[in-house]
Structure 1
Amino acid sequence: MTKEEIYILWNKFAPLWKSWARKLSYVHGEVEDLYQESYLLLLGALQHYDDKKGVPFEAYYKMVLYRWGKRYSTRQKATLMEDQDLEWYSDDIGSSFIDMSKELIHKEDLRRLMEVLELLSPLEQIIIRRFYFEEKTLKEISIELGLALKNVATRKGRALKKLNEIF
């Protein structure tokens, strides 16, 4: 299928994927990210669709969207497409698009993570930043903060639980 045909198909299904993305954006995430995800899912659906099964492509694509959306909204950590998922279409779009997508996804995730970190207590923020961003051990953090190692480990665990619920 040519890029032009994919673009036509993409526009044909615009009401479907826009509605899907708006619904999911209320659960968690930016609607623009979900638009991009629905495009990647369309490309994957085109690749894996089997018309011999007697299912119209529109129904198949809708099923792909909503299954992905269900995992996403029930927090089973459906992640944005990763390299191995994009390889099958790199010939059509080009590897530079994949690199750019990875970088944009990473920057957006990092931006959202920084916003969510602000919801933690100041002590939890310090522990998470030092452990993950400064790559310090829990023992080093406990010494710096003058807290028991067990206390730092417990606070880190609680902070991660909060982040997991929010992010």
Structure 2
Amino acid sequence: MEEVIKRYTPFVIKTARSIYVKGQEVEDLIQIGQASIIKAVNMYDTERENAFTTYVFNTIRRTLYLLIRSSVKDAKCCSLNTSNNEGCELIDVLAGDEDIEEEMIKKEEKAMLAKALRKLNEQEKEIIYWFYFEKRSLREYASLKGIYYKTAGDRKKKALRKLKKCLEGMDFNGNI
């Protein structure tokens, strides 16, 4: 029996160190695991299909996991209404789905973009609005205004350069 216990004690130690049971020290868990080895030896059926080693490992795990389950008697310890060390309930300190910081950054970037757009002249505002907000083509814009397509493209590029310069002056960090 001592030889069997020595052979499986490293597994017991590894398993005992990997779990936490409230009120139990690692040494206690090791002793419980070693007792489960004795139990496995006494209960093993030699006519079983699975190997003795597998049976011992499973017995050790089941014994320690049963100990974990039995130690969680008070469901309040797992409640979101439990208070932490600072007196706040856990439900109040959990992170929400919304990212407030990201929302504030987007709001600030929109405000900077609106301010930069106000610095454009009417023709520049018109082409930016046409292309980016209405999502219409430059070809349509050129046809409507009676100008060449290349001229419409040049207007758009000029408006974007001016917009970019304004945004860079405001330390805009978003995508332009």
> The TM-score by the shorter chain falls in which range?
0.3 to 0.5
Q: Please, what TM-score do these two structures have when normalized by structure 1?
A: 0.41
Larger radius of gyration: 2
Structure having the higher helix fraction is 1
